[in-house]
Structure 1
Amino acid sequence: MAKDFYGELQLGILGGGQLGRMLIQEAINLNVNVHVLDPDKNAPCRNLCNSFVCGPLNDFDTVYTFGKGLDMITIEIEKVNVDALEKLEEEGVVVYPQSRIIRLIQDKGLQKQFFKQNDIPTAPFQLISSKENLRQATISLPYIQKLRKDGYDGRGVKKIISETDIDDAFEAPSLIEQWIDFDKELAVIVSRNDDGDVATFPCVEMEFNPEANLVEFLISPSNLPLEIQQRAEQLAKKIAEDLQIVGLLAVELFLTKDGQLLVNELAPRPHNSGHQSIEGNFTSQFAQHLRAIFNLPPGNTAARTNAVMVNLLGEAGYDGLARYEGIEEILALEGVYLHLYGKKFTKPFRKMGHVCIINEDREQAISTARKVQQTLRVIT
C-alpha cells in the first residue's frame, strides 16, 4: 500500500460480527482507521470502529457507496455483493481477498470444480439443479446435499440416507457429495501476501456440534503423525497459491480412516478454526490477515503451547436477551481466557463467544476445556 499505517489508511470491513470485532482489536495496534458495514444495528463491531454503516451486505448500491472513499476493503463473511466489489476494484479500491475469489467461494459448486481442475483431493461430487435430479444421481446413497449458495454455519446441508429423504431435500441448485466415513475433521489456516509469501498455521483437530453442525471444540496443535500434518499444510499452501489469494484462507479437511486427506470447504477470511491462535500462537490469525492484506511479512505461526478452543453457543430453548451463567467458575480455572462477542440477543446455537484454554500439558488443557463446556451457558 502506498499509504503508511500511521492513521492514514482507511480500511473497510464487510460484516460487523465477532470476526470483524477481533480484527479491529488487531488493527488498533497498527493505528488503522476501520469502517464497518453490517445489517445489524447492534452488531458487535458497532462501537469499536471509526465509523459504522447499517445496511445490507448483498445490495450493490450500499456496498459500492460504502467502499468508494476507502483505500481497502476486506470481509468477515462471504455473503456480500461481489458486483459492487468488482466495480470498486476497477476504480482503484483494493479488495482483499479479491472479488473473483469471493465469487468462487460463494458457490460450493464452483469450489468443487476448482478442486477438480487443480488436482486437489476432495470427496466425489455431482452438481444438481433441482430435487428431481437426485433420483437420477450417479453418487450412490448415502450422500450429503449442500446448497451451492448461502449455506453457512451448518445451514444448507442435508444428509440423504435413503430414497425417502429425497422428499425433504433442497429444491435449489446444490451439489451432492459422497458420504465420507472420516476419522477426524482437520483445519489449516494459510496466509498469502501480495509478494507471494505463504505461511501456514499448525494443523488443528475439530469436533462439531451434532445438532448445529458447526465447530464446538478445537485442539491445537494436532498430535496426528507429522507426515499427515505436513500433507495437510502442503495442501493448504497449494490452494492459496493456485488461487493467488491475498489474505487469509481457512482450509477444512477430512482425514479418512485409510489415511487420505480430502478438502471439504474453504473460507477466505479469519475462521472459527483459528480463534485459539490469539493465546495459543505467536501470531494470531487476525494479525496474520492484516499482515497479508497490507503486504507485510507473515508473522511466526508456531504454537506457544497446547490450546483448546470451546465455542460458546446459545443454549437450546433460550431466545432473547443474553445472560451468561458460570463465568466466575470458569475464570477461576488456570489458563482460561474468555472472549464474549458483544451480541445482545441469544438464540439456540448462536455463536456468542469462545473460550481458549492453554496448558503445557495437552491432556490437562483438554480436561479443563471439557469442564468449561459443562459449566458455561448462555441463557436468557
Structure 2
Amino acid sequence: MKAFYGDLKLGILGGGQLGRMLIQQAINYNVNIKVLDPDREAPCRKLCDEFIQGSLSDYETVYNFGKKVDLLTIEIEKVNVDALEQLEKEGVIVYPQPRVIRLIQDKGLQKQFFKENNIPTAPFKVITSPEQLRESEFAYPYIQKLRKDGYDGKGVYKVTDETYLTNAFTAPSIIEQLIDFEKEIAVIVARNDKGDVSTFPVVEMEFNPQANLVEFLISPSTLPPAIQQEAERIAKQIADSLKIVGLLAVEMFLTKDGKILVNEVAPRPHNSGHQSIEGNVVSQFEQHLRAIFNQPLGNTACINNAIMVNLLGEQGYEGPAIYKGMEQVLNCPGVYIHLYGKALTKPFRKMGHVTIVDADRNKAIEKAKFVQNTLKVIA
C-alpha cells in the first residue's frame, strides 16, 4: 500500500458529519480524500479534495468511484456491498471489509453472528412476514426491529400487546426481548490488519426518549471495574471474531442483575465516541485512520472527564439553522462546539455536538446540563 501521507487516495462512502470529522483528522496526516454522497450540500463537500455527488446504493456509481481510489472506507453502512466486493477482487483495499458491512447491514445476520460466536445478546427471533409476527409466542412486551435500513432510532417499534400488531412493521425484521436495563453503555474498539486490537474506555449513554437518539454521553464510566473490563472484553471478542479492520462501535445493555448484553454494532466512527476528540489521548477518528492504514493504534486513555451533548434540531422549527444561546455557551470554560455544516434544520436532525471537559466530574455534568438547556437549534 502507498504511504498514507503521500500519494495514497482515500475514498469515503458518505459525506455526513462522521466523514467531515474524519477528514478534519486526516488533514493532519496530509491524506488525499475523495468523497461520494447523494447530497450536493453534504457536510464533507468543502473539506475534501474531491467531492462526487451520487448514489451510495447504485452499483455502477460506487464501483466507478472506488476504481479511482487506493483505499475505500465508509461513514455509513447503507452502501452497495456488491460493488465493494468486486472492487476488493480487483485489488482496491476496502476497510471495513465488504463481508463485515454485509453482515452488519442486516440485523438478523448480526444477531445470528452473536449467537454463533457466544456473544451475549437479548433473546430474539427472525421474522419474515406479518403472519409470523402474529403467530410468534414471544412474550409481551418486546421490540421489533427492521432487519435493514434502520438507523438513528428509526426502524424500531415497541410491541406492548397484541393491539400493537396492527402498526407493526411488515418488512423482514427481528423481534427481541425487551430488556429492563440499568444503563446503556458503549465501547469502541479498533483493529488493524496486523491483528492489533485496542478499546476505548466504556462510556455511559442517555437517549432522547422521543427520537431514540443519544443526546447525553458521559466518559469515563464510573461502573465497577469488573463490569467495564467485561464490556471491553466482549468488544474485543467481536472485533477478533469478525477480523474487522477499522473501527467498531459496540452498544450494550447493562442489566439490573449486572449482566452485559450486546444490542447492536456499527463498523465505523460512532456518535458514542465523539467526546474522544477532546477527552482522550487519541480520538476515534484518528484511531480509525490508524487502523485502516495498518499503523500502530493510539493511546485511548481518557485525559479528563468528558460529557458529550448532541445538538438536535428543535421541534417546531424547520429551515435555515439558527443557533440560539451560542454566546452564553462559549463563555463557559471547557466547552467545545462542533457544528456539522448543515444549512437546514428540522426536528431531531443531528446538527452538531458539544463536548464539555472538566477535572471535576460533577462540574462537567452541571455544565453539560447548562449547554443542553441553553444552546438550541431553531430556524
TM range (shorter): over 0.9
Match of 1:295 in 2: 294
Match of 2:90 in 1: 91
Taking the aligned partners of 1:328 and 1:194, their CA distance within structure 2 comes to 45
- Supply the AA of the counterpart residue of 1:119: N
State the 1:135 CA deviation. 1.5
Matches within 5 A, 1:1-380: 1=1, 3-380=2-379
Taking the aligned partners of 2:316 and 2:5, their CA distance within structure 1 comes to 47
State the 1:349 CA deviation. 0.3
- Supply the AA of the counterpart residue of 1:12: G
State the 1:137 CA deviation. 1.1
Taking the aligned partners of 2:135 and 2:147, their CA distance within structure 1 comes to 19
Taking the aligned partners of 2:287 and 2:137, their CA distance within structure 1 comes to 42
The superposition leaves residues 155-176 of structure 1 with CA deviations (integer Å, 9 ceiling, x where unpaired) of 0000000100000000000000
Taking the aligned partners of 1:175 and 1:54, their CA distance within structure 2 comes to 34
State the 1:102 CA deviation. 0.2
The superposition leaves residues 306-335 of structure 1 with CA deviations (integer Å, 9 ceiling, x where unpaired) of 000000000011111111111100010110
State the 1:136 CA deviation. 1.4
State the 1:34 CA deviation. 0.3
Matched residue of 1:26: which SS?
Answer: helix
The superposition leaves residues 216-247 of structure 1 with CA deviations (integer Å, 9 ceiling, x where unpaired) of 00000000000000000000000000000000
Taking the aligned partners of 2:96 and 2:116, their CA distance within structure 1 comes to 21
The share of aligned pairs that are identical, in percent, is: 71
How many residues are paired up?
Answer: 379
Matched residue of 2:240: which SS?
Answer: helix
Taking the aligned partners of 2:196 and 2:364, their CA distance within structure 1 comes to 33
Taking the aligned partners of 1:211 and 1:187, their CA distance within structure 2 comes to 20
Mark the runs of 5 or more structure 2 residues left unpaired by the alignment. none
Matched residue of 2:239: which SS?
Answer: helix
Aligned partners of 1:126 and 1:138 also within 8 Å: no
State the 1:350 CA deviation. 0.4
State the 1:365 CA deviation. 0.3
The superposition leaves residues 37-74 of structure 1 with CA deviations (integer Å, 9 ceiling, x where unpaired) of 00000000000001000011000000001110210000
- Supply the AA of the counterpart residue of 1:135: R
- Pairwise CA RMSD of aligned residues? 0.6
- Supply the AA of the counterpart residue of 1:269: R
TM-score normalized with structure 1 length: 0.99
Mark the runs of 5 or more structure 1 residues left unpaired by the alignment. none
Matched residue of 1:240: which SS?
Answer: helix
Taking the aligned partners of 1:297 and 1:262, their CA distance within structure 2 comes to 30
Taking the aligned partners of 2:319 and 2:85, their CA distance within structure 1 comes to 38
State the 1:215 CA deviation. 0.4
- Supply the AA of the counterpart residue of 2:297: P
Segments ≥4 residues shifted beyond 4 Å:
none
State the 1:199 CA deviation. 0.2
Taking the aligned partners of 2:249 and 2:223, their CA distance within structure 1 comes to 19
Taking the aligned partners of 1:134 and 1:243, their CA distance within structure 2 comes to 30
Taking the aligned partners of 1:326 and 1:83, their CA distance within structure 2 comes to 46
State the 1:7 CA deviation. 3.0
TM-score normalized with structure 2 length: 0.99
Taking the aligned partners of 1:147 and 1:317, their CA distance within structure 2 comes to 28
The superposition leaves residues 123-148 of structure 1 with CA deviations (integer Å, 9 ceiling, x where unpaired) of 00000011221121132110000000
Aligned partners of 1:274 and 1:285 also within 8 Å: yes
Taking the aligned partners of 1:102 and 1:339, their CA distance within structure 2 comes to 28
- Supply the AA of the counterpart residue of 1:204: V
Aligned partners of 1:357 and 1:365 also within 8 Å: yes
Taking the aligned partners of 1:377 and 1:62, their CA distance within structure 2 comes to 38
- Supply the AA of the counterpart residue of 1:196: G
Matched residue of 1:356: which SS?
Answer: strand
